[in-house]
Amino acid sequence: MSAVDVNTALIEMQNVTKTIGDGVMTTLVRDIDLAINSGEFVAITGPSGSGKSSLLYLLGLLDVPTSGEVLVQGSAANQLGEEERAHLRLSQLGFVFQFHFLLPEFTALANVMLPMRALARLSDQQMRERALKLLASLGLEEHVHKLPGQLSGGERQRVAIARALANEPFVILADEPTGNLDTHSGEQVLSIFRALVDETGRAVVMVTHDLELAARTDRQIRLVDGKITKRDGKGPAQHSANP
């Protein structure tokens, strides 16, 4: 994993608002102040349409705010150009979605190698070795040469998690990662995220509608109509020197 400064929040939002539309404007998130720190598992909850995914996309630099600042390890990211933001996403952030978005014509191994190829830091042999190690760590060593269509839903989501970890990001951002899975597979995904936080010091931010799952994270952020209405767990988001 990339070196991080534990005295600085991994990702921080300062008075972030996102508005869309021409003429009739819609505010997706409003006046958000939030910090994500090393070694914490954060759940974002709220009713449908409350802005959960919009908040996650802003945290992940997949979108830019209308106003306010998004800081990545203390540096303003929304002032960067699209190419610079794309490199930051690729090198420092990992994404897992409700639908795995694996390329159907590529094996599990090839799918996990894709982000490494895009970043171009490693040799082909190093990429292959890292992808094999990641898949094995998630119990997929017997499935590395299978296509996504030959895998179960839970197996496909574990491949997607391995792909998210390919470039050793310091934050994993997950949008309803268990929403398309059975109970057993959902438990596997939650256990993987818990281990990533506890054993590697990564941060995981998970959007979920499942309040039972959310209750098992370190901190819950509840959104209603685009605003944070409640913070459970560690309380108001403030970065700590001792995550």
CATH classification of the domain holding 52: 3.40.50.300
Q: Rounded to 5 degrees, what are φ and ψ at 198? A: -75, -35
- Domain extent for 144: 11-232
| Domain-embedded: residue 164 | yes
Total domains in the fold of the chain = 1
**Strand ranges across the sheet with 26-36:** 26-36, 11-20, 67-72, 75-76
| Domain-embedded: residue 213 | yes
Q: List the chain pLDDT tens, one digit each, 243 residues.
A: 545 555 578 999 999 999 888 777 788 999 999 999 999 999 999 998 899 999 999 999 999 999 999 999 888 887 888 889 899 889 999 999 877 789 999 999 999 999 999 999 999 999 999 999 999 999 999 999 999 999 998 899 899 999 999 999 999 999 988 887 888 888 888 998 999 999 988 999 999 988 888 999 999 999 999 999 877 765 433 333 332
| Domain-embedded: residue 143 | yes
| Domain-embedded: residue 6 | no
Please give the helix or strand (H or E) that residue 213 lies within, else none: helix 211-214
Q: At what angle do helices 153-164 and 183-200 cross, to 10 degrees?
A: 20
